[in-house]
Every structure is written in C-alpha cells, then in structure tokens.
Amino acid sequence: MEKGYQVHGIKRKSSLFNTQRIDHIYQDPHEIHLNFHLHYGDLTDSSNIIRIIQEVQPDEIYNLGAMSHVKVSFDMPEYAANADGIGTLRILEAVRLLGLTQKTKIYQASTSELFGLVQEIPQTEKTPFYPRSPYGVAKLFAYWTIVNYREAYNMFAANGILFNHESPRRGETFVTRKITRAATLMVYGLQKKVFLGNLDAKRDWGHAKDYVEAMWKMLQLDNPDDFVIATGHTHSIRDFCSKTFMKLGIEIEFSGNGIDEKGIVKSIDSKVLNNYGIDKPAINIGDVVIEIDPAYFRPTEVDLLIGNPVKAKKILNWVPKYNLEMLINEMVDSDMEIARIEKLTRK
Ligand code: GDD
C-alpha cells in the first residue's frame, strides 16, 4: 500500500476473528485503508478463486496462501497438498482461463523446505530439491507448476525460494516467536518454561520486511525468474534461545543430552531488565526455562538450511537491511510490550 497499490487480500471464514495481525491497517489515520480490501476465499475452492480474480483483475498476485506449518502438514497431508500444491495450480488456471496471462504477474511463495535433506551447502537456485514433509512435497508440486505454466503459456510466473523469515507478527507456533513470546512472558511471571523439539536444527533466518521487498522486486523484472532469498548465515534453535534470553540480560546454560537436555538460567543482568521497567523479574538463577518435548519432533526433519542469495543480490539488487540480532531485538521488544499489557490486564 505504501507503493500506491490497491491491495486485495483473501481470508478464510472462521467462527472467530482472525485478522488481528492486519487490523491496524484499518485504523490507519491516513485512510490508506481505502486501498485495502479483503475477500472471503479459500485456495481449495476453484470457483471462488476464479470469481475473485475475475472481479479484481489483478496486475500482480502474491500467493503466500498455504497451510504453512511443516509439523502440522504431517497431520493434515491431504489438506496441505490441496491448499499448497493444487491451490497454486488453481490460481494459474484461473489467470489462464480468464485471459489474463499477459496482464497478471504471479509470485509463488516457494520455500527453503524444498531443499529438505540438503544436497549441497549452501543452497542455490541450482541445488536439487529433496523435500522432507507433506508441506515440502506440496510446495514442490507448486514450484514446478509455476515453471511449467511459465514455459507452456508464456505467463509471468516466478518462484521466490525464501528461507525462514520472521518478524513480530510471526505466528506463535513457529519456533522463533514461540521462544521470544515465552522468554518475555517468563520475566513477567506469566509462563514458567517453554517446551521445544529439536534444538540442533539450523535455520537461515531473515526479516520478513526484507523478504517482502525481494518478492516485489521479482515481479518488477522484465522476465520472470526464480530466486533464492536468504541471509547466508545459519544458527541453531539453541543459539536462537540463547540470543533471545541474552537480549533480556538472562544467560542460559544448556545441560543434558537428547530429550533430557534443559536450558537453565546461569546469570541475570538486572540492569537490562530495569531498562524494560522490571525491578524484580519472575525468573531466578537456576530456573529450568527450556525443556524438550518429543511431541515437537518431526517424523523427518530438515536439519540444516543455509542459502546463497548471490543471484538475488546481482539481478534484483536486493540487500537485506536486518541481521539476526536486529531481528531478535525487534521481536523481543515487541513481545515485551505485549507481555507488559497482558500482565496488567490479567491482574
Ligand atoms: N515450530 C516449532 N516448535 N519448531 C521447533 C520447535 C517447536 O517447539 N522446537 C524445535 N523446532 C525446530 C523445528 O523442528 C525446525 O527444525 C525449526 O525449529 C524451525 O521450525 P519452524 O519455526 O516451525 O519453521 P520451519 O523451518 O519448519 O518452516 C518455516 O519456514 C519455511 C521456510 O521459509 C515455515 O514458515 C514454512 O512455511 C516455510 O516454508
């Protein structure tokens, strides 16, 4: 919307309100919301997708719609295949059948999960895919469908192979936000500990803001192409925990192995918490704040992801502005404010 676009989004029907993460846009004092429209829709419903695209006649489609939780895709594999895989096909077919192939550009949210059991380190656009979850397999179908429609019908359809990208708006069941949320609730005494799965997994985490800029840049090219978007740095889940707690002045020591591993508070720098207005944190040296719950293990895991974004840097002139530390700082600050308000309202 900042770029002057009229934006149309699709939301699924739910019995509860589920637009909290974009509600502030409606409250924008500059009335920018006049350029923002939400339609009821679902990627599993072809006629609905066709109708919305026919009504909107979009210049650009950004398909980020998905059942995007990797672990949940093992529980709902057919739905993941339908929404994430065939859903992409439905958009492409809608554009084609409506005669919009020369007007509408399509961005497909492909993913580093395509690399799965990585065949090369770091991963580039040329690294062979080896998905490790129903989610990854569905996204593989979508990836190749985009390539096929581009070649078969001369459509502007592009894959962004995005590595993990996070922000304060990240859903709370994804590991980064689960950790920042837990740590901030703990200092306010609203949560005792957090249960996590595989702490050894490594991810190349970037900031969603940088990555959205790359998506947009991809659709401004003269010719469609596929790009890896990544930072080129990787960290374990354990590292992410340590850095998050450290931002709050809390040093964590990990001890034990496998499912017995625990994260224990080793030291607390109270000055840091004072700066957040906390005189007496509800957390003490020796507290066990991280434990392992095998329920969060995945039947097949993606152990290591690290991308090489050299093509995006060269062709899109894409340079990320955030590093991991800045990302964590922003997430922790935002979650501290949310926890502070929760503390006040729970009293
Ligand atoms: N969610 C979660 N919860 N993951 C955990 C936990 C936990 O308690 N403990 C350890 N992990 C590990 C997972 O096993 C995985 O290796 C890693 O943390 C990251 O998990 P997620 O944050 O759930 O993200 P993801 O890497 O599986 O997938 C995300 O990024 C992809 C690439 O951009 C999702 O956003 C996908 O939709 C996206 O395609």
**DSSP calls for 29-61:** TT-GGGGEEEEE--TT-HHHHHHHHHHH--SEE
Give the whole-angstrom CA distance, residue 307 versus residue 330.
23
Q: Is 65 in the pocket of ligand 1 (CB under 6 A)?
A: no
First CA to last CA across the chain, in angstroms? 39
Give the tokens for residue 151.
């070649």
Do residues 104 and 96 lie in contact, with contact meaning Cβ atoms separated by under 8 Å? no
Count CA atoms closer than 13 A to 261's CA, side-chain side: 16
Do residues 252 and 196 lie in contact, with contact meaning Cβ atoms separated by under 8 Å? no
Could you tell me how far CA 96 lies from the centroid of its own chain? 29
In whole numbers, what is the pLDDT of the chain averaged over residues? 96
pTM for the whole structure? 0.97
Average pLDDT of the residues in 294-320: 98
H-state helical runs in the chain:
23-26, 46-56, 70-75, 77-80, 87-97, 134-153, 175-187, 208-219, 237-247, 270-275, 310-311, 324-346
Which residue's C-alpha comes closest to atom 32 of ligand 1?
164
Catalytic residue among 135, 143, 211, 276: 135
Reported as a single tens digit per residue, the pLDDT across 153-192 is: 999 999 999 999 999 999 999 999 999 999 999 999 999 9
The 3-state DSSP class for residue 329 equals: helix
Exposure b/e, 308-344, CB count within 10 A at least 16 = b:
bbebbbeebebebebebeebbebbbebbbebbbeebe
Which residue's C-alpha comes closest to atom 16 of ligand 1?
201
Write down the pLDDT at residue 100. Answer: 98
Write down the pLDDT at residue 228. Answer: 98
Q: Is 179 in the pocket of ligand 1 (CB under 6 A)?
A: no
Between the CA of 311 and the centroid of ligand 1 the distance, in Å, is: 25
Known catalytic residue: 79? no
Which residue's C-alpha comes closest to atom 36 of ligand 1?
68
Write down the pLDDT at residue 31. Answer: 59
Known catalytic residue: 211? no
Write down the pLDDT at residue 240. Answer: 98
What are the C-alpha distances in Å from 270 to residues 111, 157, 168, 273, 324?
40, 52, 24, 5, 24
Catalytic residue among 111, 127, 180, 184: 111
Do residues 106 and 117 lie in contact, with contact meaning Cβ atoms separated by under 8 Å? no
Average pLDDT of the residues in 310-337: 98
Q: Is 231 in the pocket of ligand 1 (CB under 6 A)?
A: no
| Percent of the chain whose pLDDT exceeds 90 | 93
Between the CA of 258 and the centroid of ligand 1 the distance, in Å, is: 18
Is 90 exceeded by the pLDDT of residue 249?
yes
Write down the pLDDT at residue 103. Answer: 98
Reported as a single tens digit per residue, the pLDDT across 84-135 is: 999 999 999 999 999 999 999 999 999 999 999 999 999 999 999 999 999 9
Residue type, 90: R
Is 60 exceeded by the pLDDT of residue 32?
no
Give the whole-angstrom CA distance, residue 179 versus residue 205.
14
In this structure, the dihedral spanned by the alpha carbons of residues 234, 237, 238 and 244, taken in order and rounded to 10 degrees, is 90
| Percent of the chain whose pLDDT exceeds 70 | 97
Do residues 130 and 116 lie in contact, with contact meaning Cβ atoms separated by under 8 Å? yes
Give the whole-angstrom CA distance, residue 40 versus residue 10.
6
Do residues 194 and 290 lie in contact, with contact meaning Cβ atoms separated by under 8 Å? yes
Comparing C-alpha atoms, which of 52, 116, 137, 117 is closest to residue 90?
Answer: 52
Known catalytic residue: 322? no
Check residue 112 and give left, alpha or beta (phi > 0: left; psi -120 to 50: alpha). Answer: alpha
Count CA atoms closer than 13 A to 127's CA, side-chain side: 25
pLDDT band at 27 (very low <50, low <70, confident <90, very high): low
Q: Is 163 in the pocket of ligand 1 (CB under 6 A)?
A: yes
Give the whole-angstrom CA distance, residue 203 versus residue 324.
11
Reported as a single tens digit per residue, the pLDDT across 43-60 is: 999 999 999 999 999 999
